[in-house]
Structure 1
Amino acid sequence: MVFFKALLIGGQICVALALFFLFLGTIGVHLFAGTVNTIPGMVLFFMLAVFFVIWVKY
């Protein structure tokens, strides 16, 4: 049971890191493109990230 719990926590950390780097990449692409869609895209992604964090915690 401890092993599975550790595996679950490790998996969540990996997913969180992947989302974080994806988020940084998204910002980078948007800044590079300099489009009008930058702010709505970032807001949407931020909302998804917040939702995911809440979902993982509860």
Structure 2
Amino acid sequence: MSSDKDDLSIEDDFVAAEDEAEPPVESAKTNLSKRRTIDNMLEERRLQKQLADFDYDL
């Protein structure tokens, strides 16, 4: 081991992972609202398909 002090170079370009911009966390209420909207749209599409496939010549 050497007793000389080594000069260490520090890179100023280093960016810590914590400094990166994180997307805002959405509340559970917002997520539930979006999920209900999607579920309603899918249910409406399913019902419209059933109506289109319905045999009216009973």
TM normalised by structure 2 equals 0.50
Tell me how large the CA RMSD over aligned residues is.
1.4
Q: Give the match for residue 37 of structure 2.
A: 12
Q: Deviation digits for residues 1-58 of structure 1, max 9, x if unmatched?
A: 61000000000000000000000001011xx215xxxxxxxxxxxxxxxxxxxxxxxx
Structure (1 or 2) with the greater helix fraction: 1
Long gaps (5+) in structure 2: 1-25
Number of equivalenced pairs: 32
Q: Give the match for residue 28 of structure 2.
A: 3
Q: Percent identity?
A: 12
Structure with larger RCO (C-alpha < 8 A, sep 6+)? 1
Long gaps (5+) in structure 1: 35-58
TM normalised by structure 1 equals 0.50
**1: CA distance, partners of 2:33 / 2:40:** 11
Q: Give the match for residue 15 of structure 2.
A: none
Determine which structure has more spread, i.e. the larger CA radius of gyration.
Answer: 2
